[in-house]
C-alpha cells in the first residue's frame, strides 16, 4: 500500500531550490525599487544595469509558475488528495538590430523545467473520471527542456517575417491569453491539449519554422514548415 502521507508532503526540495536561485541575485537586486508595483522587474533595475542591458539589446527572464490542486471528496477514496506542480523558465532574448546592426532580427533561447505531480492522475485512480489535466504546467513530463532556440528576421520592410530553429507551435498558432485559468482545458493551444500525439505545445519544441506575411498592420497570414 502506498504511503499517502509521503505522497502529500509539500515539496520542500523545490522550495529550497527556488530559495537558492533567488539568493544568487546580487545585493543590488534588492534596491529601493525591488518588489515595487511601479518597477518593470520584480527585483528592481539593479542600479540601472538592467535598463542599460535592455537598451543594448539584451533581455532575460526567470519565471516560476506553481499550481496546486486538491480533491476534497468523491471517488473510491474518501481521503483528501492534494498535488503540487511547477514550471521554471529561463529565457534570453537578443535584439540583433541593436547588437549587430542587423535590421529587424532577434534571437531567443529558453530552457524550462517542470516538476511535481498531477491531481488528475490521482483522480483517475479514484475512478471519478477526468476530461483534461487539472494542472496545465504538469504536462509533457517532468524534466528539463530546450524549449526555444530560434532566429527571427523581418524582410522587405517587415512584409515577410521568417523564424527558424527550435520552435513551439503555440507561439504563432492557436494561442490566446489563458493565464486566468489553471485547468488545461481552459488554456491556450487547445489543438495540442486534445491531440497531444500529433500537435505538440509548449514546452515541447521541434526543429522547424514559420513564415508570416504581414498584409496590413492588423492582419497577417502565417505558414509553418518543418
pLDDT tens track for 72-105: 776 566 566 788 999 999 999 999 999 999 999 9
Closest alpha carbon to 94 in 61, 128, 68: 61
Q: Collapsing DSSP states into helix, strand and coil, what is residue 169?
A: helix
pLDDT at 6: 40
Residue 148: CB partners within 8 Å, gap ≥ 6?
A: 91, 108, 109, 110, 165, 166, 167, 168, 171, 205
CB 65 within 8 A of CB 178: no
Phi first, then psi: give them for residue 175, nearest 5 degrees.
-130, 150
Residue 53: CB partners within 8 Å, gap ≥ 6?
A: 59, 60
Q: Residue ranges per domain, the chain? A: 60-225
Question: Rounded to 5 degrees, what angle do the CA atoms 95, 170, 158 make?
Answer: 40
Model-level pTM? 0.76
Domain spanning 60-225: CATH 2.40.160.180: yes
At 111-160, the pLDDT tens digits run: 999 999 888 776 555 555 567 788 888 888 889 999 999 999 999 998 99
Task: Give the chain's length.
Answer: 226
Residue 56: band (very low, low, confident or very high) from pLDDT cuts 50, 70, 90: very high
Amino acid at each position: 500500500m502506498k504511503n499517502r502521507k509521503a505522497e502529500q508532503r509539500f515539496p520542500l526540495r523545490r522550495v529550497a531550490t527556488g530559495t537558492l536561485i533567488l539568493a544568487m541575485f546580487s545585493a543590488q537586486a534588492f534596491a529601493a525599487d525591488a518588489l515595487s508595483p511601479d518597477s518593470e522587474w520584480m527585483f528592481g533595475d539593479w542600479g540601472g544595469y538592467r535598463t542599460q542591458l535592455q537598451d543594448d539589446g539584451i533581455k532575460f527572464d526567470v519565471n516560476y509558475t506553481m499550481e496546486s490542486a486538491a480533491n476534497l471528496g468523491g471517488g473510491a477514496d474518501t481521503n483528501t488528495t492534494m498535488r503540487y506542480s511547477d514550471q521554471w523558465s529561463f529565457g534570453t532574448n537578443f535584439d540583433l538590430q541593436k547588437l549587430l546592426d542587423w535590421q529587424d532580427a532577434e534571437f531567443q533561447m529558453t530552457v524550462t523545467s517542470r516538476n511535481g505531480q498531477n491531481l488528475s492522475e490521482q483522480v483517475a485512480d479514484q475512478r471519478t473520471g477526468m476530461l483534461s489535466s487539472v494542472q496545465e504546467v504538469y504536462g509533457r513530463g517532468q524534466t528539463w527542456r530546450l524549449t526555444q532556440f530560434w532566429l527571427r528576421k523581418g524582410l522587405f520592410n517587415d512584409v515577410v517575417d521568417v523564424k527558424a530553429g527550435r520552435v513551439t507551435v503555440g507561439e504563432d498558432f492557436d494561442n490566446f491569453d489563458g493565464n486566468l485559468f489553471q485547468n488545461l482545458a481552459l488554456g491556450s493551444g487547445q489543438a495540442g491539449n486534445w491531440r497531444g500525439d500529433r500537435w505538440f505545445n509548449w514546452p515541447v519544441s521541434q526543429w522547424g519554422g514559420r513564415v508570416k506575411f504581414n498584409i496590413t498592420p492588423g492582419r497577417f497570414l502565417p505558414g509553418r514548415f518543418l
